[in-house]
Amino acid sequence: MIALNINGEERNVDVPEDMPLLWVLRDVIGLTGTKFGCGIAQCGACTVQLDGRPVRSCVLPVASVGARKVTTIEAIGATPAGKKIQDAWLDLEVIQCGYCQSGQIMSASALLDRNPDPSDRDIDAAMSGNICRCGTYTRIRAAIKQAAKA
């Protein structure tokens, strides 16, 4: 049994130690908001926060999570930065297919949480690991800036 703290809840899961957190979330716990895109830390669709830091859950062995708090897209709206990001995302109609957006929002919320006034360069650094195949990048940038002002 591996003990996890997910969105503030204690969970015990009986899974292999090397199983990536992504599949524990999706297939064992049933939190499907976190997406699978590449499985090799290239696309960011699987981004969750570990103690507030964005991580690619597709390559994160569940056993290495330890006592760190896992936050997923389902709960990010409860954080001040997450709420601002979600609001700006909707206000600027960032989203197209939406499949990458859980990851985008998790990365953007983590950025805003630590850096209340990110520059373009900060946004480049924080967001370039998240691919959007629908090409919503210009709106993502604008929405982060709008959220920073909110």
Partner 1 sequence: MSKPSSSPKTATSRRAFLQGGGLLLGFALFGAGIKPVLAASTAQPVDGDVTAAFAPDAFIRIGTDGLITLILPNIEMGQGTHTGEATLIAEELEVSLDQVKAVDAPPNDKLYATAALGGQATGGSTSMRATWEPLRKAGATARMMLVAAAAAEWSVPVSECVARLGVVSHQPTGRQLAYGALADAAARQPVPAEVKLKDQKDFQLIGKSSRRLDTPGKVNGAVKYGIDIRVPDMKVATVAACPVLGGKLGDVDDKAARAIPGVRDVVRLDNAVAVIGDHFWAAKKGLEALDITWVEGANANLASANIMAALKAASERKKPIMARQEGDVDGRMKAAATKVEATYELPFLAHAPMEPINCVVHVRPDECEIWVGTQVPAIAQGLAAKVTGFPLEKVILHNQLIGGGFGRRLVAESVAQAVAIAKQVSYPVKIIWTREEDIQHDLYRPAYYDRIAAGLGADGLPTVWVDHVAGGSVLGNYIPGGWPEDKLDDDAVEGAAKPPYDLPVIQVDWVREDPPVPITWWRGVGPTHNVFVVESFMDELAHAAGKDPVEYRRALTRNQPRAAGVLELVAEKSGWGTPLAAGMGRGISLHDAFGSYMAAVLEISVSPAGEITLHRAIVAVDCGITINPNTVEAQIEGGLIFGLSAALYSGITFTDGRVDQSNFHDYRILRNNEAPKIEIHHVKSSESPGGIGETATVSAAPALANAIFAATGKRLRTLPFNRDALKTDGTDKKSVSMIPPLAAPLAAALASAKPADTELEKL
Please report, as residue ranges, which positions from 76 to 95 form the binding site for ligand FES (by CB under 6 A): 95
Q: Quick check: 25 and 86 in contact, CB under 8 A? A: no
By CB under 6 A, which span of 11-19, 41-49, 83-91, 116-124 interacts with ligand FES? Answer: 41-49
Q: Taking CB under 8 A as the rule, does residue 9 contact partner 1?
A: no
User: What, of partner 1, ligand FES, none, does residue 102 touch, CB below 5 to 8 Å by kind?
Assistant: partner 1
Sign of CA dihedral 75, 80, 84, 87: positive
Separation CA 127–CA 71 (nearest Å) = 18
Contact between 115 and partner 1 per CB under 8 A: no
CA 143 remoteness from chain centre: 16
Paired with 50 in beta bridges are 53, 70
Q: Which of 29, 49, 56, 79 binds ligand FES (CB under 6 A)?
A: 56
Which CB atom, from 50 or from 100, has the smaller least distance to ligand FES?
A: 100
Residue 39 interacts with partner 1 (CB under 8 A)?
Answer: yes
Among 69, 77, 99, 145, binds ligand FES (CB under 6 A): 99
> Is residue 8 within 8 Å of residue 75, measured between CB atoms?
yes
Binding partner 1 (rule: CB under 8 A), the pick from 81, 132, 147, 148 is 132
Q: Is residue 41 part of the contact set for ligand FES (CB under 6 A)?
A: yes
Q: How many residues in the shown chain lie near ligand FES by CB under 6 A?
A: 23
Report helix, strand and coil shares of the chain as percent, to nearest 5: 45, 15, 40
Please name the residue ranges forming H helices in 1-150: 21-23, 80-91, 101-114, 120-127, 137-149
Q: Which of 5, 11, 33, 36 contacts ligand FES by CB under 6 A? A: 36
